[in-house]
Structure 1
Amino acid sequence: MTHPPRRALLQNLLALAACAALPGAALAAEAAPVQSAGKPAPVQVAFIEALSGPFANTGESVWRNLLMASERVNARGGVQIELRRYDNKGQVDESLAALRAAIDHGARVVLQGNSSAVAAALIDAINKHNRREPERQVLFLNYSAIDPALTNERCSPWHFRFDAHADMRMAALMQVIKEDKDLKRIYLIGQDYSFGQAVLREARRQLEKERPDVQIVGDELHPVGRVKDFAPYAAKIKNSGAQAVLTGNWGNDLTLLVKAVREAGFDGRFYTFYGNALGAPAAIGEAGIGKVFAVADWMPNVPAPESAAFYKAFRERFPKPEDDYVHLRQQLLIEALAQAIDAASKRPGGPTAAHIAASLENAKVQLAGRSGHMRAQDHQFQQNLVVGVMDKQGAPGVPFDVEGSGYGFRIVRDIPASEAEMPTTCAMQRPWQP
């Protein structure tokens, strides 16, 4: 990966230092940094994600955020982290093989998120590994796998989720759908695995509760990452008479879907989980203005000077238009991890996985004018959520576009963490407590 000149990098780090609020914690460089005199050994962190195949763009977008975040906290001195990449090709078996390799290489923290099926398998594998080998226990920090079950009936003391789960995101979108009084017919479509199924299940439940007058004219699941031509799906959406499409699709499955639906002549609205990047705005084009909605923890046009400074620093670090997908939650994840490592390092025995986990349960972090905290009950991170609508760059509230497309997202809802929070059924047993 190409790095910017040293002066530019230092300028980025200095610009972001004003936004960060975690004194004393630090992470090291990307891969196998040389340990400096007087500094403790780095904590090894394994990044397990699809870096090849149909969802490689999603994996690389995460990597850029984690890399920049580690560079920022690394510059502060103190605790170090060694960040390593493992390509799981988007497959469960490859992910489990990567987990074993990472543990053998000395990893004590695992990062993954772009697939709830993979996340569920990693949780099970890490639970078993930590029972069998308490001297080599590992943590799992999840930044995007948002099947609600992962912090409910499948919750684990070793798993921490930094993204809002699907039901939380759906509730945020529903705030906008409730006010769409012209909406009478909606088409639900998603990827056929645990997350996609959860999205459509919750969409049906919340529509029945909040908009019982809206007719669901389509309810469909499709294979994950295997559909190359969405034209047949687009034709069904167009012929259904739907006025809006609701989807949790992500990555190439979203880009190809919206492109096909647009080409089919559909001129209705899109309510999406991830329609704000990875080629979707450019694929939709002018037809998306005022009609494409997305929900996230943060977007570049959040109206705050700290937010704008953070986004500009990211774009300086990664100037290619196609690299423009900023995940603030992933940067907050690294800040929280650094904070927890720093606290665990002061305990007898040092930063073991159990010590880091115990500290991470109490993490409170902020960056770019946004903040969040970990809920100890179920290890579900609590933070504001925003809903944005697509518009032309330069329109009121849209100083920044997405991926050089000329289109950005204007914030129409900024939902406080206290309102975004949802109850949990988690009954967690912590092995580090008597």
Structure 2
Amino acid sequence: MTHCLRPLAAAALALCAISTHAQETFKIAYIDPLSGPFANVGELMLTHTQYAVEDINARGGLWKGTQLQLLQFDSKLSAQESQSALQAAIDQGARAIVTGGSGSSVVTALVQAATRHNQRNPGKEILVLNHSSIDPELTGKACSFWHFQFEANTAMKMKAIANYIKGQADIQKVYLLNQDYAHGKQWAHYGRELVSLARPDIQFTGETLHPIGRVKDFAPYVSRIKGSGASSVITGNWGQDMALLLKAAGEAGYDLRYFNHSAGSVPGTVLAVSQAGRGQLTWVAEWHPGQADTPRVDALAAAYKAKTGKDFLAPRIDLTPRFLAAAINKAQSTDPVKVARALEDLTVETPLGPLRMRGEDHQLLLPQVVNTIAPVDGKAVKLGWEGTRYGFRTDAVYSGNELAQGSDCKMKRP
């Protein structure tokens, strides 16, 4: 009788092992554009996310050997498609979303959909980890317990630029040219507001919004800027909208100074600046390639390049899954509610130094580097990028605490 039970016992143990193994996977859904005019941006963000997930798993995973599993969905730069992807991710067992490059309106829709789902399905909650959509409302009036912002928001980035412009007496006339959606409007709003506070003498000569991802020729817009007498442009454009603006201004022989949030971390921008042959593109991010005195980011970038064959551009995307991993380990649980609580006020030692996720509004206090894409000179710019003789010049560095803004978040916690 005992002998007969042995195969059954063995089978039961095998089933138990399979069940335990299944429980040791924490699924993350990547939802961002993988087709259309901004597919190159989506692929960049996906590769950064994949690298971090694979590195975490290769180092032994998380609490109790939990492994991260990355699911992929194409948002198609659409709120509707993104919400459909969210539901598909939930159906496949995802407990967190990594997103950010779909635009603020899309990410806001995802946060709202995730919040509704979590309210209706206790025990099946899902987190939203946002590494690139920088609408201050996401950590302000529209804040959600389920959303965490891993990028400096629009106001923080513009404050860094305004602080820098304060010392640039040659900047006198500025035009506001932006994409016609939430982020573009906010970049214009904070540009006018914060730059005016830093430099009340600056004259804003005009403001235009254009359709996102649909303009093929920016020559008419460049002509409008030139006619206004502006020598500088505050623009939140990214992807092909930035590249085509640079191209049109270069063809018109117009030597503009552009102030942008993250253009240099998008593939092809440095090449576009070099091809335009005119103008200066100043942008702000947590780090830039060739930045001095960043040995830990340099080591990460080298390891990333060795494994993927691609250039490393965005530490914040890499650290997003790592913060999640640290929170799971701190909580000693994969329950999203416990993980979210562990993320609040969590400080993690990163290649950028120690960073804290502010608990009151879920805003990561990320440093910002104002830098300009400029020709290699062997001094300020030592490294060429994208096969060109152009690289990045550090203009100013500000800590996350220096740029931190107040928040009117009134968060409802479960």
Q: TM-score, normalised by structure 2?
A: 0.90
CA distance in 1, matches of 2:90, 2:296: 38
3-state SS of the aligned residue for 2:123?
helix
Q: Partner of 1:388 in structure 2? A: 371
Contact 1:289–1:391 (Cα < 8 Å) also in 2 = no
Corresponding position: 1:426 with 2:382:
no
Matched residue SS, 1:374: strand
Match of residue 337 from structure 1: 324
The amino acid across from 1:314 in the alignment is Y
Give the stretch that moved more between structures: 135-144 or 266-275.
Answer: 266-275
Deviations 1:334-374 (A, max 9, x none): 11001111223x2xxx3111011011113222332433110
Q: 1:37: how far off? A: 8.7
Q: Which has the larger radius of gyration?
A: 2
* Further displaced range: 392-401 or 114-123: 392-401
Alpha-carbon distance between aligned partners in 2 of 1:289 and 1:267, rounded to the nearest angstrom: 5
Higher mean Cα deviation, 96-105 or 244-253?
A: 244-253
1:94 aligned to which of 81, 84, 88: 81
Distance 1:370-1:262 versus aligned 2 partners, 3 A rule: farther
Letter in 2 for 1:135: G
Match of 2:339 among 356, 363, 369: 356
- Matched residue of 1:136: which SS? coil
CA distance in 1, matches of 2:288, 2:19: 37
Partners of 2:251 and 2:75 in 1: how far apart? 33
Would you say 1:199 and 2:187 are equivalent positions?
A: yes
1:132 pairs, out of 107, 115, 120, with 120
1:198-247: CA deviations, max 9, x gaps?
11011111122111211111211111111111111111122222111111
- What SS does the corresponding residue of 2:365 show, helix, strand or coil? strand
Where in structure 1 do 4 or more consecutive aligned residues deviate above 4 Å?
A: 35-40, 286-290
Asked if 2 retains the 8 angstrom alpha-carbon contact of 1:288 and 1:390, the reply is: no
Offset, 1:56: 0.5
In 2, Cα distance between equivalents of 1:106 and 1:421: 35
For 2:97, what is the secondary structure of its paired residue? strand
1:111 to 93, 98, 109: 98
| Amino acid across the alignment from 2:113 | A
Do 2:254 and 2:279's aligned partners in 1 also have CA atoms closer than 8 Å? Answer: no
Using the alignment, how far apart are the partners of 1:264 and 1:340 within structure 2?
Answer: 51
- Establish whether residue 307 from structure 1 lines up as the match of residue 321 from structure 2: no
Contact 2:250 2:279 in 1 (8 A): no
Deviates more, 1:216-225 or 1:44-53: 216-225
By percentage of residues, which structure has more helix? 2
Would you say 1:293 and 2:267 are equivalent positions?
no
Q: Deviations for 1:370-406, whole angstroms, at most 9, x for unmatched residues?
A: 3311000000001211111122335214333332233
3-state SS, counterpart of residue 255 of structure 1: helix
Distance (whole Å) between structure 2 residues aligned to residue 236 and residue 221 of structure 1: 12
Whether the 8 Å contact between 1:50 and 1:89 is mirrored in structure 2 is yes
The match for 1:219 among 207, 214, 224 is: 207
| Cα offset, 1:290, TM superposition | 8.2
Q: Distance in 2 between matches of 1:415 and 1:224?
A: 30
Aligned to 2:144, the other structure's residue is in SS state coil
Secondary structure (helix, strand or coil) at the match of 1:355 reads helix
Stretches of structure 1 lacking an aligned partner (at least 5 in a row)? 1-34
1:245-303 alpha-carbon deviations (Å, 9 max, x no partner): 11111111111111112211111211111231422221121766883211001112221
| TM-fit CA distance, 1:50 | 0.4
Say if 2:356 is the partner of 1:373: yes
Aligned-partner Cα distance in 1 for 2:161–2:196: 14
Q: Do residues 81 (structure 1) and 71 (structure 2) align?
A: no
Alignment of 1:23-422 (within 5 A): 41-77=24-60, 78-114=65-101, 115-276=103-264, 277-285=266-274, 291-304=280-293, 305-319=295-309, 323-344=310-331, 346=332, 350-393=333-376, 395-422=378-405
Distance (whole Å) between structure 2 residues aligned to residue 204 and residue 172 of structure 1: 14
Distance in 2 between the 1:325 and 1:289 partners? 26
Number of matched pairs: 391
- Counterpart-to-counterpart distance in 1, 2:287 and 2:19: 35
Structure 1: how far apart are the matches of 2:305 and 2:382?
A: 14
Range that drifts further, 252-261 or 269-278: 269-278
Amino acid at match of 2:135: D
Gaps of 5+ in 2: 1-17
**Whole-angstrom CA distance in 2 between matches of 1:66 and 1:49:** 11
Structure 2 letter corresponding to 1:72: D
Contact 2:149 2:362 in 1 (8 A): yes
Q: Which moved more, 1:57-66 or 1:282-291?
A: 282-291
Q: Which deviates more from structure 2 when the two are superposed, residues 363-372 or residues 287-296?
A: 287-296
Contact 2:178 2:237 in 1 (8 A): yes
For structure 1, which segment, 377-386 or 289-298, has the greater mean C-alpha deviation from structure 2 after superposition? 289-298
2:372 aligned counterpart, secondary structure = strand
Moved more, 253-262 or 44-53: 253-262
2:13 is aligned to none
